[in-house]
Structures are given as C-alpha cells and as structure tokens.
Chains A and B, each alone.
Chain A
Amino acid sequence: MNRFNHCAAWLLAATALFTLPAQAAVDLSKVPAVGTPKDFVLPARETITLPNGLQVSFIPFGTLPKVTLVASVRTGNIDDGAHPGLADITADLMAEGAGDRDGAALDRYVAGMGGSLGVGSGETQFSVSLDVLAERGPDALRVIADVLRRPKLPASELERLRGDMARNISIARSQAQTQAGEAFQSLMFPGHPYGQGMPSDADIAGYTLADVKQFVATQFGAARTRVYVAGSFDRAAMEAAIRAAFGDWAAGPTPTGIPSLPKAQLGLRLVDRQDAPQSTLVLGLPVVTPDHPDWMALQVANSLLGGAFFSRITLNIREAKGYAYSPGSGISPRTGSAVWAQNADVTREETANALKEIFHEVERLQSEAPPLDELQRNQNLLVGRLALSVSTRQGLVGRVAFLDQFGLPDSWLSNYISAVRAVTPQRLVEVMQTHLAPAKMSLVVVGDLNKVRDSVKALPQIQTLPET
C-alpha cells in the first residue's frame, strides 16, 4: 500500500516579486501584493496486488460523479518485432468489439455511460481507458477487461483500419513538425525502436490478422498490467469488479526489456520543404532520466531557457523579434532515456537569425547565473503547473502512471516541489553546463533549403556539426 506524502505545494510560493503593500488610499497605478499561499494537498493512492500480479491503484478524487479507468500494459512498439506499427494496428483492432459486443454495439454501450473508449499504444506502454459517469464505473471496468482479454479482432475490419492508418500517417508526414520530429528522433536513437518513426506504407500493407493475434497472445497478461481508478467510486464495489474481471487472468509473459540505447548521432539534418514560408527547427540532445538527481534542476533550467512563455528564448525570438508564434522547449522522457529539445517554426527569412538567438540564450546560461527573481518565477510556475496537472482525474492518473513507468516512489512528487524550490542560480548554471551544452546539440531544419541552407550553415555553431 502506497501513499503520497501530503505536502504544501504553495506554502513556499510567496514571492518577493510584487510586494508593494496595498495602501490605505488606493493608488490604482500600483500592483497589489499577492496574498499568502494556501496549502495544497496531493491526493493519495492505495495500491493492491492480485495473486496473478495485476496491480490496482485507487485514487479517490473530487466531488463530481465521474470516474476515470485506465489499464496500462507494459508492451508497445518495442514489441513490434519485424512489423513496425504492429502494436498500433493491434490497438485499433482491439477497439472493434470485445466480449459479446461487436464494434458498433460497443460504441453505443460506452457512449451510454457518458464516455468513449480509448485504446492506444506508445513505445513501451499500451493503454485501454474509459472516463464515465461514476455509477457506471464497474460496467466500464468490465468493458476494459473484455477489450484486454476477449477482443473480437474481426478480420473484416483489418483492411479498413490499415487504410485509416496509412491515410493518417500520410497526413501527419505532410506536417513540417512531424517531418522535423521524425528526423530528430532518428538522430537521437539511430537503429532503435525509439527512433524508427511511423510505419511505412509497406509496413502497413504487411500486417496480417495472424500478426495481430500473435501480438495479443504473447504481449498481454496480468503481471504486466496496472489498473488505475481515479475520481468518484465505491471502493468495495470497484475492487470486487476488478477481482471478478481480472482475477483469473494468466500472469502472462515477462515484459520485454528495452533494447540497449544507442549513442545519439551528433549532427545537422536539413529536410527540404519547397516554398515553406517558415522553417521548422528542432535543436536538442539526450539528457538524464527522471530518476537522476539532476532531473528537477533540469526542469527549472528548461523552464527558464525555453519552456515557459516568459522563458528567455520565447521572449527573445517571439516577444522581442517576432520571428515565431509558439516556440518552446521541453524534456521528453521515455523508459530508459530522455531528450531535451527546443522547437520553433520561424519566419523563413529569419531562420539563421532565430538560430543565432537560440544559441545565444543557451550559451549565455552556461556561464551567467540568472537573477533570483527570474529563477523564482520559474519555480513558482513549475509548482503551480504541477498542482493544476494533478487536479483532474486524467492528470492524476498520468502522473501516477509516470511514477510507475519510471520506477519512482510516490514521494518523488512531493520531493519534486522541494527540489524545484532548492535550485539556486549557480546550480542552474551547473546543470546547464552538465546537461545542455550547445556543442552536444543536434539540429534539424525543415524548410525551403534553397533559401535557408547557406545562412544556416554559415552560423559558427553549425560549422562544426556534420551534416547527416
């Protein structure tokens, strides 16, 4: 049985920033001071393990009569084998009827609970989810069990779903951001499932019903599965439903390990997109994973550098220069790995100038400690956003599943807040030097290369970067 530590997320959030005292005769030209933060309590979870290894986390939350159910199975594209995307087509086909309901009946049944069924695969996690009116919680749980244990996998739907997948991938690949993302992942994870990108038309054409059935037969089981129940529910009734629906499920095979990670390729990848009025940029590198002691400080550094709207890169290339609308940086963790990247879609004519400014901001933080008030704003932002993100059923499940995926204790979340608060200006510079060194960053540019190639390659930071 696990519990979150309760903590006071905003207890320390009082800021020195705007502390002009409210005056007796009110001067409307002065910003009033912020008050004293209230305590914020993270919801706790209780976890039980069934004899077959299935784990269940119960997270009572909120007062509205709704409940979110998610079953997360440790499989995904790492188990695609010779068929990239097999986990995805399997997810699609599993949604096409289960138990004694065909696809159309399942759609109607689920809509009648006030929800819609989600079946999807990631690289290492496969999930089946439903969010429904509270009184339908046990019914929804049985639907999830049907999908996982008794999917119909109708042969009649396979061709249609392959067509849908091919269409959706062709649409995704026509987007500059997807083109940039796939190129960047291939640099970060050469030859690894994490870097394989979306399946090709030939991959999709190759899926057979036998492949899907084989995937279902070999990649699912109780010992690989965690069920999350969050929101309003009758604890005893829900546990009884879970034991009845999953108690006799076989433990199943041991989860696949992550193939060992390759060394990222340091390089410049230029992708031509004729006549594009913007260049789509991704600049980044591998960083440490959430279990590393520097993770929290790295989050603060990211926020200050490019993650927040008031980050240096955004204030520079958007609010000072007007080169971009929605630039931003972030850290994407995967099991065993994490990557930091700055993304931006910038005016074509300013491509090199935008890159120059981005490098300038990365370089400046390698040596120059940020002012304390700027640091505190970013710390407040991260703590406040954590509070907002765990204040919905889906957000809570997401955070808890994140802990489970990375093998972190529940105390990690409350430590997150104190660790974020503990970062000093000097520590932030150290983290920048250790983890966000510009010389180790790879760059992808998707744009009209005839117009942008020369100026990009003329940048001093790019000249040492091999074009790949």
Chain B
Amino acid sequence: MPAYRSLFRPLAAALAAAVLFTSTPAAAAGKPAAAPTPAAAAGLQVPVEYYRLPNGLRVVLSRDTTLPTTTVGVYYQIGFRVEPKGRTGFAHLFEHMMFQGTPNLPKGGLDQIVSGNGGAINGSTRFDYTNYYEVVPAHVLESVLWVEADRMRGLDINAASLANQQGVVKNEVRVNVLNRPYGGFPWLSLPQYANTNWNNAHNFYGDLTELDAANLEDVKTFFNNYYTPSNAVLVVAGDFEAARAKAWITQYFGSLPARATPARPDITEPAQTAEKRASYVDKIAPRPALAVGWHMPERNTRDWLAMGVVDELLLQGDASLLRQRLVRDRGMSSSIDGGVNLLGNLYNYNGPMLFTAYLIHDASNTPDAVLGAIDSAVDEFKAKPPTQEDMDRAITTLRSGLYDVVGSSTRFGLVDLLASFALFDDDPARINRLEAELRSVKPEEVQAAAQRYLRRENRTILTVEAGAAPKANTIGGVK
C-alpha cells in the first residue's frame, strides 16, 4: 500500500500488534548497519561514481543489474529542524506540495508515470533532509529523471492544492498522533523535552493551527530558498547504462540555474548539565510508557562511532542487554526498543541527536522501578568493556543488516545511505568503509563512550500516564 509522504516511522511491534487492516505509511529506511567478517575480508563493495554538475547538483551513480529495476532518489538538505517559526510542520507540508504538479505536469501525472509504469514512489521529511524517491522498471528511468528535474525547476502552486494538502496532512497527524494511543511517543514528543534550541525542540509534525496558517507565499519562499541544485543530491542506483544516464542527467538537470541557499540557523544544542523529567497523560493509552533519551556525541567522532556499537549491544535485537534484562529477566514488557535517531539510523542525520530507549509497561511497575531496571542494565554495561564475542556479534549483525539494505528490491535503503554520505560527508563511497569503521572500534572505546554519554545529567526521562488504564486486569501484573 503506498500510503505516501510520511513523516511517520512504523512503531514498535507492541504498538502494531494485531492491526487487521493496515494502511501503513511507507516504511522509513530500516536500521541500517554495516559490513562483512573474515569470510569476505574486503567487505561489501558497492560501485560508487560521484560528481558534481556546474550548477552544484551532486550526483551519485551505483550500478547493479541483478534486478531490471532502477531506483532514483533526490535528497534536499532541508529537514524539519529548519522550518519557519510560527510554521511548525511546514517542511513536511511542503514535501506534500512537491507532489501537486508543475507547469509541465499536472497534479497526479507524477504518480501516473511512476506507478502507472509499474514502479513505486514516495517522499519523507526527516531531521536534516527531505527526500523524494522512486523505484521503476529500468526502461522508465529517463522519465523519472525528467520528473525530478521538472519539479526542481518549479511547482504549480495554487490555493486549491495547498488547502487540499493541509487537509491531508492534518489527517496524517490525526491518524498517526491524535487518534492513536502513544501517538508520537517518543519519536515526536521526546525531542521537544530533551532539547532547548527551538530548531531541535519544536513539534516537527506541526500544530494544526500552524499548519492551517501556511500560505502560498510560504511555499514559494521555502522552494526558492532550499530546493536548489546545490542543496541537493541525486542518486541513481540499480540497472542503467552509465553513459546514457549521465547524458540524461546533464540534459534534464544541467540547465537548472544555480541558486544560493540562505545561511543556516544555529542548530547546536547546549550541553545538558542536569537530568530532566517530563510526563503527560495520554487519554487513550491503556498502559503507562517510559522513554529515556541521552544526547549523542557529535557525528563522526570516535565516541559517536563507539555509540553505534553501544546501541547494537545494549538495545538492538533479542540478544541485547536491555532486552535481556527488562524483557526476559524482569518481564517488564515484551520489548524495549529505540536506538540512535528514531526516524532513521546512525548515519542519516547531521546535527544534535538522541539515543533513545523506550517501552510500554504495566501499571504494577512504577516509572521508578522501570527506570531502576534500565539504570541497572546500563551500569552493568558500563562496568566492563564488551567481550570479543559481543564485538563479533555486533559486527555480524551490522554486516547482515547492510546486506539487506543493499539487497532490498527497492534499494531505498541503499539510496538513503549514498545520499546521506554525499549530503553530509561529501563522500558517498564511505558506504564501502562502514565495516572497517566499525571494526576499528575497540572494546575499551565502547565502554568509555557509554560511560561518557549514558549519564544521568545527559538524559531526559519522559513518562506517559495511561489515561485509559484497563479496569480490572487480571494477569497483566508481573513478578
């Protein structure tokens, strides 16, 4: 089901349990990961060709003819952190406007070209980018390059389509947040408490009144400011002929005029010096919930890389320590979830970020009891460096996951990594060094990073009170 243009990421299994009829908004790129073990010493190697057009557009090509499909992604370096004050949710609303037609292609035409030829199309808005992507049978590539260049050239914006998409987006917020138990918990709510800089701490989905306040002038200004060739990366991955693809890229994107992008606001987050706690009542949630968010070290530092391993060992998968202690040993929930960047992964953001763990639990466990269990597991983790077996398991999991990213039939995850490394690091070939990067992390570095960042003064605790607590729950309580 293409449910389109979503800011939303599928929530934990607990929230999704037993929905008989889903019309799930498109999945975000899954937990990514990294690369090979001794068997394949060189690790996974993806072909990467990278260049820049005179107007500043960065282009990444990665050819793989295993399947006769081609995936195109256009990533603009504008996320919901940087949207106009008084216009919360605007970056995402704007994303919807990119599907409303251009002077050359009426509304609906884009989907007719892509889906009507057997492909799939979507877009999403994240912290530091907004992306538009398609997977199509290989013979449709030229048309897709045209449509992406066409909407980079200009939009057909009118009052009717803006009003229509304001209605759609408000219904997106209702279905994913307002009419949903634990809606926005913790991915949307926690950053608003943990951060202090407005760019990191506002409601990214948008207050309904501010969504309503958006006008045509806002749309034009945002487009002119941020939807420029030099602020974007074009990725083409899959089955294509390089010479022809490059000729089409030159033909369709090359004539777009270069435009300047305005200076960025300061998105830095001051260091947190004391633990923060917040709580709210969710009127339709049947059980309480708790989240802990720790500020991450700066991206691309050694500590940041080590935190990638911390995440894997502490929180990812059934074997992780928090899962073992809270789920298996204490029976507090069927799962504890989270990670670095709840709307993506370790790599696809570029600014302040949280490492988050969250769970839904029973009222028979107080928030302090749950927090105590988390603290105890985190302290256990910090007490000694991981064993070699732990390190091997983390690398194996990351490697296995990277194969799935690369091997997915849509290649959306692959395109996401290539685009992120081009946008934020000017180095898409970094994808081929992910395993080596992670292998370079020593167990002592993992322990040291955990000790430095998984501290109380560096964290925010958010609890959700169950406004719809069950009447008499006979067996929900635990040991």
A167's contact among B40, B179, B360, by CB below 8 Å, is which? B360
- State whether A107 touches B319 (Cβ < 8 A): yes
Q: How far is the CB of B315 from chain A (nearest CB, A)?
A: 13
Given the known A-B contacts A310-B115, A325-B172, A347-B171, are A160 and B478 also in contact in the complex, defined by CB atoms under 8 Å? yes
- State whether B23 touches A384 (Cβ < 8 A): no
Interface string of A310-332 (1 = CB under 8 A from B): 10000100111111111110100
- State whether B179 touches A276 (Cβ < 8 A): yes
CB neighbours of A172 from chain B (8 A): 17-19
- State whether B19 touches A37 (Cβ < 8 A): no
Kindly state whether residue B111 has any CB partner on chain A within 8 Å: yes
CB neighbours of A423 from chain B (8 A): none
A395's contact among B120, B178, B409, by CB below 8 Å, is which? B409
Report the number of A-B residue pairs with Cβ-Cβ less than 8 Å.
Answer: 327
CB neighbours of B287 from chain A (8 A): 167, 170-171
- State whether B328 touches A308 (Cβ < 8 A): no
A32's contact among B17, B143, B410, by CB below 8 Å, is which? B143
Kindly state whether residue A245 has any CB partner on chain B within 8 Å: no
CB neighbours of A315 from chain B (8 A): 108
Kindly state whether residue A250 has any CB partner on chain B within 8 Å: no
CB neighbours of B113 from chain A (8 A): 17-18, 31, 34
Q: How far is the CB of A9 from chain B (nearest CB, A)?
A: 8
Kindly state whether residue A36 has any CB partner on chain B within 8 Å: yes
- State whether A103 touches B328 (Cβ < 8 A): yes
CB neighbours of B476 from chain A (8 A): 163, 166-167, 170, 201
- State whether A309 touches B334 (Cβ < 8 A): no
Given the known A-B contacts A29-B103, A32-B143, A114-B397, are A380 and B175 also in contact in the complex, defined by CB atoms under 8 Å? no
- State whether B171 touches A328 (Cβ < 8 A): no
Residue of A nearest to B100 (CB): A319
Which of B133-141, B195-203, B265-273, B294-302 participates in binding chain A? B133-141
- State whether A38 touches B19 (Cβ < 8 A): no
A383's contact among B118, B166, B176, B400, by CB below 8 Å, is which? B118
CB neighbours of A110 from chain B (8 A): 318-319
Given the known A-B contacts A117-B318, A310-B112, A395-B409, are A34 and B139 also in contact in the complex, defined by CB atoms under 8 Å? yes
CB neighbours of B142 from chain A (8 A): 22, 32-35
- State whether B179 touches A384 (Cβ < 8 A): no
Which of A178-186, A216-224, A235-243, A402-410 participates in binding chain B? A178-186
- State whether A341 touches B21 (Cβ < 8 A): yes
Kindly state whether residue B385 has any CB partner on chain A within 8 Å: no
CB neighbours of B278 from chain A (8 A): none
CB neighbours of A388 from chain B (8 A): 69, 120, 135, 409-410
Interface string of B93-124 (1 = CB under 8 A from A): 00000000001110111011101111110000
Interface string of A29-52 (1 = CB under 8 A from B): 111111111111000000000000
Interface string of A276-298 (1 = CB under 8 A from B): 11101010000000000000000
Residue of A nearest to B468 (CB): A174
Which of A62-70, A361-369, A450-458 participates in binding chain B? A62-70
Kindly state whether residue A415 has any CB partner on chain B within 8 Å: no
B408's contact among A115, A322, A376, A392, by CB below 8 Å, is which? A392
- State whether A326 touches B23 (Cβ < 8 A): yes
- State whether A164 touches B118 (Cβ < 8 A): no
Kindly state whether residue A204 has any CB partner on chain B within 8 Å: yes
- State whether B115 touches A377 (Cβ < 8 A): yes
- State whether A168 touches B23 (Cβ < 8 A): no
Given the known A-B contacts A10-B68, A111-B319, are A163 and B475 also in contact in the complex, defined by CB atoms under 8 Å? yes
Kindly state whether residue B2 has any CB partner on chain A within 8 Å: yes
Rounded to whole angstroms, the CA-CA distance of A307 and B115 in the bound complex is 12
Given the known A-B contacts A15-B116, A116-B317, A166-B473, are A309 and B2 also in contact in the complex, defined by CB atoms under 8 Å? yes
Kindly state whether residue B453 has any CB partner on chain A within 8 Å: no
Residue of B nearest to A327 (CB): B23
Q: How far is the CB of A105 from chain B (nearest CB, A)?
A: 10
- State whether A36 touches B139 (Cβ < 8 A): yes
- State whether A28 touches B255 (Cβ < 8 A): yes
Q: Output the residue of B67, B178, B285, B323 with the most chain A CB within 10 A.
A: B67
Rounded to whole angstroms, the CA-CA distance of A310 and B135 in the bound complex is 16
Q: Output the residue of A132, A177, A282, A376 with the most chain B CB within 10 A.
A: A177
Interface string of A128-166 (1 = CB under 8 A from B): 000111010000000000000000000000011011111
- State whether B25 touches A171 (Cβ < 8 A): no
Q: How far is the CB of B310 from chain A (nearest CB, A)?
A: 16
Given the known A-B contacts A163-B362, A319-B164, A322-B163, are A330 and B105 also in contact in the complex, defined by CB atoms under 8 Å? no
Rounded to whole angstroms, the CA-CA distance of A388 and B407 in the bound complex is 12
Kindly state whether residue B22 has any CB partner on chain A within 8 Å: yes
CB neighbours of A251 from chain B (8 A): none
Rounded to whole angstroms, the CA-CA distance of A17 and B283 in the bound complex is 50
- State whether B403 touches A104 (Cβ < 8 A): no
- State whether A309 touches B319 (Cβ < 8 A): no
Rounded to whole angstroms, the CA-CA distance of A395 and B407 in the bound complex is 12
Rounded to whole angstroms, the CA-CA distance of A320 and B100 in the bound complex is 11
Kindly state whether residue A244 has any CB partner on chain B within 8 Å: no
Given the known A-B contacts A162-B475, A182-B20, A391-B69, are A309 and B4 also in contact in the complex, defined by CB atoms under 8 Å? yes
CB neighbours of B143 from chain A (8 A): 18, 31-34
- State whether A168 touches B14 (Cβ < 8 A): yes
Kindly state whether residue B159 has any CB partner on chain A within 8 Å: no
CB neighbours of A383 from chain B (8 A): 118
Interface residues of B in 197-246 (CB under 8 A from A): 239
Rounded to whole angstroms, the CA-CA distance of A10 and B4 in the bound complex is 25
- State whether A17 touches B112 (Cβ < 8 A): yes
A326's contact among B3, B165, B180, B182, by CB below 8 Å, is which? B3
Kindly state whether residue B181 has any CB partner on chain A within 8 Å: yes
Interface residues of B in 431-455 (CB under 8 A from A): none
Interface residues of A in 357-402 (CB under 8 A from B): 376-378, 380-381, 383-385, 387-389, 391-392, 395
Kindly state whether residue B423 has any CB partner on chain A within 8 Å: no
Kindly state whether residue A338 has any CB partner on chain B within 8 Å: no
Residue of B nearest to A446 (CB): B179
- State whether B318 touches A205 (Cβ < 8 A): no
- State whether A180 touches B179 (Cβ < 8 A): no
Residue of A nearest to B122 (CB): A309
- State whether B117 touches A384 (Cβ < 8 A): yes
Rounded to whole angstroms, the CA-CA distance of A287 and B289 in the bound complex is 41
- State whether B475 touches A392 (Cβ < 8 A): no
Kindly state whether residue A213 has any CB partner on chain B within 8 Å: no
Q: Output the residue of A17, A34, A38, A176 with the most chain B CB within 10 A.
A: A34
Kindly state whether residue B333 has any CB partner on chain A within 8 Å: yes
Kindly state whether residue A346 has any CB partner on chain B within 8 Å: yes
Kindly state whether residue B83 has any CB partner on chain A within 8 Å: no
B400's contact among A66, A318, A380, A381, by CB below 8 Å, is which? A66
- State whether B165 touches A322 (Cβ < 8 A): yes
CB neighbours of B116 from chain A (8 A): 15, 17, 310, 376-378, 380-381
Kindly state whether residue A343 has any CB partner on chain B within 8 Å: yes
- State whether B137 touches A104 (Cβ < 8 A): no
Residue of B nearest to A198 (CB): B18
Residue of A nearest to B111 (CB): A310
- State whether B179 touches A385 (Cβ < 8 A): no
Interface string of B359-380 (1 = CB under 8 A from A): 0111000000000000000000
15 contacts between A and B (CB under 8 A): A10-B139, A65-B403, A104-B324, A114-B399, A116-B317, A160-B479, A163-B478, A166-B473, A201-B474, A201-B476, A325-B25, A325-B175, A326-B25, A345-B171, A380-B118
9 closest A-B pairs by beta carbon, nearest first, are A384-B118, A322-B167, A114-B400, A181-B20, A377-B116, A391-B409, A35-B139, A160-B331, A326-B3
B residues near A (Cβ < 8 Å) are 1-4, 14-15, 17-25, 37, 39-40, 66-69, 103-105, 107-109, 111-113, 115-120, 135-143, 146-147, 149-150, 153, 163-172, 174-176, 178-182, 239, 251-252, 255, 283-287, 317-319, 323-324, 328, 331, 333-334, 360-362, 389, 392-393, 396-397, 399-401, 403-404, 406-410, 468, 470, 473-479
Given pairs A159-B478, A322-B166, A328-B3, 11 additional interface contacts (CB within 8 A): A28-B255, A31-B104, A32-B142, A36-B139, A114-B401, A167-B360, A169-B17, A174-B181, A310-B108, A326-B23, A328-B1
